[in-house]
Amino acid sequence: MSPEPTAGTAADHAAITPDDGAVELAELRRRIDEVDSRLAELLEQRAILAAGVQRVKPVGGFAGRDAERERALVAAMAGRAPRLGEERLARIMAGVIEAGLEAAEQERGVERP
């Protein structure tokens, strides 16, 4: 069973949606910048954890890619990001995961074509 959505509810949407066009472009961009700043920290944190996984897995890096695990984490995220949904989230997370694997391999001096 999929988890209850804890974000993306009507109340959340109202809280971040401009009311009556009163919120200016600059204000919306300021809010996006704030979210992006948090996102960057979370992505950095995630990449560090993913690098740790590569060190302890029997086969790490791109060679040990686990499609089932990737599907499961996207499905778990989808309930929290209903606007994006599973298909779009899968595309986003493929990029996030690949970037993490690349950084981990670079750190370990693995040559990639």
Ligand X SMILES: O=C(O)C(=O)C[C@]1(C(=O)O)C=C[C@@H](O)C=C1
How many whole angstroms separate alpha carbon 17 and alpha carbon 28? 9
CB of 107 to ligand X, least distance (A): 14
How many whole angstroms separate alpha carbon 34 and alpha carbon 32? 5
Candidates 20-28, 36-44, 49-57, 83-91; binding stretch for ligand X (CB under 6 A) = 49-57
CB of 92 to ligand X, least distance (A): 12
Residue 74 binding ligand X, by CB under 6 A: no
End-to-end CA distance of the chain: 41
Rule CB under 6 A: choose which of 13, 29, 55, 57 binds ligand X: 57
DSSP 79: T
Rule CB under 6 A: choose which of 29, 31, 69, 91 binds ligand X: 69
For ligand X, the closer of residues 12 and 66 by Cβ is: 66
DSSP 87: H
CB of 57 to ligand X, least distance (A): 6
64, 54 contact by CB (below 8 A): yes
Structural tokens at position 47? 């990449």
